[in-house]
Amino acid sequence: MHAVEAHDLAKTYPPGTKALDGLGLTVGQGEVLGLLGPNGAGKTTTVKILTTLTRPDSGSARVAGHDVLRRPDAVRRVIGVVSQRSGADPAATGRDNLLLQGHLYGLAGAALKERTARLLDRFDLGEVAGRQVKTYSGGQQRRLDVALGLVHRPKVLFLDEPTTGLDPEARAAMWEEISRLAGDEEMAILLTTHYLDEADRLAGRVAIVDAGRIVAEGAPGRLKGELRGDAVHIELKEETAGASEALSTVPGVREVQVDGRRLSARADDGAAAVPAALAALDHAGIAVASVTVARPSLDDVYLKHAGRRFAEA
């Protein structure tokens, strides 16, 4: 049994904004599923449905074996949620926030105090435990948010953009903790993110969301491996008609896509294809600013399946 199962979820917000359009996914125990997509793709709506904060217009979902519509209270008892905005009381101390969270889940006495102390130590918050949360740095506050989601030892953890706004050092520390939760504690984790490197680093599987649907799903390595050859990216000096046609005549170059002044294509041997590609563009009178060759990335995967680059989306 999967820890999380969703089938054909649909959700439309007034006045007709379609957030989800038949989305389906699964998360196994001990697995990190990275839900990857730009803002507005439907990631947060998916998390809201799975955590019982909103209802789908149609479709079904189960979390830890409980139907999110029929048994929402049972779902809430077995999940931890770290939303984009902190749920901590800024006027209370970090320790008091953890104690309150524990009380809400029925914990008390020595067991709760021990759990709180363990979490403060585990997330390196012991020295600031007695300070008001509003005095915490961004990294300290996000670590507290994750600790709050773990007080009651949930079976499934939902992390909605957990590293947004963090500096590189704080992001790296958060990545390490997320990996440990999935590995050492076999916790099922659904991670939403718009950071390509984060999904590549943390997720055992990635589900790419575009316009409320899963357009590609699989291990990051497998998804990138499906894109044969190298990615060739050419930046033109100015947007010019005919660039795509010029590149399409170059032997070994395929899947040419144009996005303003940026050309993207695939080639079995990128280094060998570049001179011919530049010559074809020069023959067509098209000036080139720069060219790069790289192994396939998740950005290339997104481009293939969504038809545009991730940053542009």
The CATH number linked to 49 is 3.40.50.300
Q: Are residues 93 and 167 in the same domain?
A: yes
**pLDDT value, residue 177:** 87
Q: Are residues 12 and 98 in the same domain?
A: yes
- Number of independent structural domains in the chain: 2
- Is the pLDDT at 289 greater than 70, yes or no? yes
Q: Are residues 209 and 248 in the same domain?
A: no
Q: pTM for the whole thing?
A: 0.82
Q: How much is the average pLDDT of 262-268?
A: 88
Enumerate the H helices of 41-128 as residue ranges.
Answer: 43-50, 72-77, 94-104, 109-122
**pLDDT value, residue 56:** 97
Domain that holds residue 146: 4-223
Distance in angstroms (rounded) separating the CA atoms of residues 140 and 59: 38
**Residues, the chain:** 313
Domain boundary residue, one of 223, 247, 282: 223
272 falls within a domain: yes
Q: How much is the average pLDDT of 54-63?
A: 97
Q: Are residues 130 and 157 in the same domain?
A: yes
List, for residues 148-166, the tens digit of each pLDDT value.
999 999 999 999 888 887 8
Q: Are residues 79 and 207 in the same domain?
A: yes
The CATH number linked to 233 is 3.30.70.2470
Q: Are residues 171 and 96 in the same domain?
A: yes
Q: Are residues 216 and 232 in the same domain?
A: no
Estimate to the nearest angstrom the gap between the alpha carbon of 32 and the chain centroid: 10
49 falls within a domain: yes
Q: Are residues 11 and 150 in the same domain?
A: yes
Q: Are residues 15 and 48 in the same domain?
A: yes
Which one has a higher pLDDT value, 1 or 94? 94
List, for residues 238-252, the tens digit of each pLDDT value.
988 888 899 888 998
Q: Which residues contact 239 (CB under 8 A, 6 or more apart)?
A: 260, 261
**pLDDT value, residue 92:** 97
301 falls within a domain: no
Q: Are residues 131 and 250 in the same domain?
A: no
pLDDT band at 235 (very low <50, low <70, confident <90, very high): very high
**pLDDT value, residue 77:** 95
Q: Are residues 36 and 174 in the same domain?
A: yes
- Is the pLDDT at 44 greater than 70, yes or no? yes
pLDDT band at 299 (very low <50, low <70, confident <90, very high): confident
261 falls within a domain: yes
Share of the chain above pLDDT 70, in %: 99
- Is the pLDDT at 276 greater than 80, yes or no? yes
Q: Are residues 169 and 237 in the same domain?
A: no
What H or E segment, with its residue span, contains residue 222?
A: helix 220-225
List, for residues 116-132, the tens digit of each pLDDT value.
999 999 999 999 999 99
- Is the pLDDT at 308 greater than 80, yes or no? no
